[in-house]
Every structure is written in structure tokens, then in C-alpha cells.
Structure 1
Amino acid sequence: MAKLTKKQKTLAEKLGDNQQLYPVGEALALLRELKTTKFDETVEVAMNLGVDPRHADQMVRGMVSLPAGTGKTVRVAVFAKGDKAEAALAAGADKVGAEDLMEDMQAGNLDYDRVIATPDMMGVVGRLGKLLGPKGLMPNPKLGTVTPNVEQAVKDAKGGQIEFRVEKQGIIHAGIGKMSFSDTDLMTNFDAFVDAIVKAKPSGAKGKYVKKIALSSSMGPGLKIDTTEIAGA
């Protein structure tokens, strides 16, 4: 990391108490002032949830559309035939196919962020389970990636829809935009993401659900967020 300026050192000293809680707007301002890199860093949110995902009734997983987008290019592959394939291409899919797409993936071409399939193609997609599963790319009807409406699914993926899934330690995280975004856009995305997690509270969750929330940039510090004003937290 680049050497801190005098101003940045002063700000870093303010962060000495890592127990301090910040409103979202103040945290974003601090991240901008502490930024030392030249590239457009991703703004990331991490949430510590009161769940144990080893139990099926405490799993937290789903999709959420970020209103201001993600700021990144999303590569989408679609398994479909006929009119559905044409609709997927028209919607902006990067690769569309059937058995030919399966063979392409088996050859190692897996540079995609989202894989979508029509229900009738799952017999073909199923043969890719060992390749797509570990990468989190296996189409799933619960996530809307197995659907007859591939056109809308592609548009959602390209337009800022992201998947979330809680990890073993009860932590869930995602990128909610870029440092080049306005504070308004980042706060809108933050609210949409947190709201989706709160609404996805599983039936088996006991006690406090949202324990901690932190905001950070790709190369910046993690700042703890004051959750008192977050409904349902």
C-alpha cells in the first residue's frame, strides 16, 4: 500500500478505536479520505449473522438487485434452445448454447459470473455439477437462474443483481459498488443489500440476527456500522 500522507495518518489515528460505530455516510467519507490506490476500489459490506448455516433452517441465501448496479461487467452464460436462446442473446448474454456450451465448459471455458438455464436444459447442465457447483455457478430455481424467462434473468444479472450466501462462520459479504459511485448510490445499494438479508432471516435463527455490519474498500480498513437505525437488525 502507498505511503500515507499526513492527512491520512491523522485520519488513521481516528480509527485507533476499532470499536467505534459509524453511520453509513460517515463511514463512506472516511473510506474515501483514506483511499491510497489509483484504481477504482470496490466498496464491500460484511455482515455477521446470528445463524449456524450447518443447519438447514439457518441457511441464508438469495438474490438482490442493487438499484445503482455493481460497477462491474458481468459475464453470463445461458443454456437454452430455439426462441429462448435468441431471447437470451438479445438480452445481452455472453454465450448461449446447449450441448455445445456444455462441451465448451468441460474444456475449461468457465469464465462466467452467472450461469442461467431453461428448465428443459437441466439434464445437460446436471452433467456439469462438479465443475459449476464448487464455483457457485450451478443454476438453481430458488435463485431464479433456472427459469423459462431467460431474457429477464439475463437483464437482471447484467443490471446489478447479485447472489448472497452465508459462510460457515455466519458471515455474509458482497460488493455493493465502486468508490467512483456517489454516496447516494452506495447508500441506496447498501440499504437494498441489508434489507434483503434482513428479509431472508431463516426460521431457525435465534437471538439477535444481525450482530455486526462493516464497510470497507478493497484496500481500505473495515469500519463498523451503527445498526441501531436498521429495521429488523
Structure 2
Amino acid sequence: MAKLGKRMKSAREAVAGKSDISVEDAITLIKSNAKAKFDETVEIAMNLGVDPRHADQMVRGTVSLPNGTGKTVRVAVFARGPKAEEAKEAGADIVGAEDLMETIQGGTIEFDRCIATPDMMPVVGRLGKILGPRNLMPNPKVGTVTMDVAQAVQDAKGGQVQFRAEKAGVVHAGVGKASFEADKLVENVRAFVDAVQKAKPAGAKGAYLKKISLTSTMGPGVTVDITSATGNA
């Protein structure tokens, strides 16, 4: 087993024995342990009582975090004509059609969010095996297949976060940077949890929110009291 460095050993000692604590206390711990040489991302992981292999138990959606993510999001848009111009004016980093498809097929993916107008989906559909596994495939359910490309670009750039349950029923996302003020991170965490709660699928049985953990990019995780995370404490 690899030997722990002094920083990680100290961080683990700080959270030892602390579990199911309030969101406020968890954020305080995470911020104090985020001592990497870069601005670490604060991440949330939620274990849900769902089996995403069943269509009626899939959890996915978007949430606009009240205080943004602190991350620069690169946006690609599949559009033609006036809609392509609209996307460029809204701040899209890459705009194209068949040319963009060929670039992606060639192995160049220089974006974090992909948006498309409905008429472009036959072209985008050819990229399913490339974009799908990277969770980049445009989807009308999360607002990335739309005629309002300007709004979609602004949402992506302004702190909107997409979430989707993975095979084991886990949803995770970045909810801000360690440099954020604690109260702003707390607001972001609760906004994210609220969005996941509202996305509860009809097929979910029993306990839906099973476990919530917070961590920073290079720090240890800590479990959070579910009642505190939902704002019902």
C-alpha cells in the first residue's frame, strides 16, 4: 500500500470519526483540508435507492447552482445558419455541423457540454458511441437539444450542472470551488440535493436518498446528515 503523505494523513485525521454531520460542518472541514496547490473542486456524491438499468428508475436532470461552479465550461453547438450565429453571439466556444462531426470522429473533443438544434440530431446521432460514454450526448430531457441555443449556452456557462445516475445508483457532481465562501457552497449543495430529490423517478421504491458524501478533489470524504442536506434540519 502506498504511504500517505503528511497532508493526506493530516486531512484523514481531521475527518476521522466524523460522519453524518451537518452540511455546514462538512463544508468547514472540507475547506480546511483543501490544501493542494490549485483551487480544489468541492464534489458531492449521492447514493440513491434506484436501479438505473430500469427505465422507470433512471435519474437525470439539470440544476443551475445559485453561486455557479467556479469552472470555465467549454460549449460546443451543432447548428446551422441563424442558429449558429445565435450560438456564437451567446458565447459558444465551438459551433459547426458536419465539420464539427468530422472533428469529433477524428478524436478531438475540446468541450465540456454539447448542445444541438433538433434538425442537427441526425448528424449528432452518428456520434452516439463517442459522446454517449462521455455523457456529452445532447438530450432534450436536459435541455441540450433545443431551438433556444442562446439560452442553453448561457445556462451552461452560468453554472448549470447536469446529473445522471450511474450503474450503482450514484449521482455525483462538482458544486463549487474550495475558495468559495462557506455559505455559498452550502447553498449550492442544497440546491443540488433539491434538484435530485425532485428528479425522483416513479419506479423508485423504499428510501430514495440513502447516503450523501462531500469531498474536495484531493481530500478525504465525509458523510452528511441527509436532513441537513435537504434543508429540513
TM above 0.5: yes
Equivalent pair of 1:176/1:190 in contact (CA under 8 Å): yes
Equivalent pair of 2:87/2:150 in contact (CA under 8 Å): yes
| Counterpart position of 2:37 | 38
Q: For residues 79 and 12 of structure 1, what CA distance do their matches in structure 2 show?
A: 45
Structural mapping, 1:17-28, within 5 Å:
17=17, 20-28=19-27
Unaligned runs of 5+ in 2: none
Q: For residues 209 and 77 of structure 1, what CA distance do their matches in structure 2 show?
A: 34
Q: For residues 175 and 118 of structure 1, what CA distance do their matches in structure 2 show?
A: 27
Structural mapping, 1:69-218, within 5 Å:
69-218=68-217
Tell me the CA shift for residue 36 of structure 1. 3.0
Aligned partner letter, 1:31: I
Q: Which of 3, 6, 10 is the matching residue for 1:3?
A: 6
Q: For residues 105 and 79 of structure 2, what CA distance do their matches in structure 1 show?
A: 17
| Counterpart position of 2:53 | 54
Equivalent pair of 2:190/2:231 in contact (CA under 8 Å): no
Question: Considering only aligned residues, what root-mean-square deviation do their CA atoms show, in Å?
Answer: 2.0
Unaligned runs of 5+ in 1: none
Tell me the CA shift for residue 183 of structure 1. 0.9
Aligned partner letter, 1:130: K
Q: Which digits, 9 at most, give the CA deviation of each residue in 1:31-60, with x for residues without a partner?
A: 122233121100001111111111111110
Tell me the CA shift for residue 13 of structure 1. 3.8
Structure 1 residues 94, 112: closer, same or farther in 2, change over 3 A?
same
Aligned partner letter, 1:72: K
* 3-state SS in 2 of match to 1:67: coil
* 3-state SS in 2 of match to 1:211: strand
Aligned partner letter, 2:6: K
Structure 1 residues 16, 184: closer, same or farther in 2, change over 3 A?
closer
Equivalent pair of 1:63/1:162 in contact (CA under 8 Å): yes
Q: For residues 151 and 232 of structure 1, what CA distance do their matches in structure 2 show?
A: 36
* 3-state SS in 2 of match to 1:51: coil
Q: For residues 127 and 221 of structure 1, what CA distance do their matches in structure 2 show?
A: 40
Q: Which digits, 9 at most, give the CA deviation of each residue in 1:185-222, with x for residues without a partner?
A: 11111111000000000111111110111111111111
Structure 1 residues 171, 98: closer, same or farther in 2, change over 3 A?
same
TM-score, normalised on structure 1? 0.92
Equivalent pair of 2:52/2:169 in contact (CA under 8 Å): yes
Same amino acid, percent of matched pairs: 62
Q: Which digits, 9 at most, give the CA deviation of each residue in 1:105-135, with x for residues without a partner?
A: 1222212111111111111111222221121
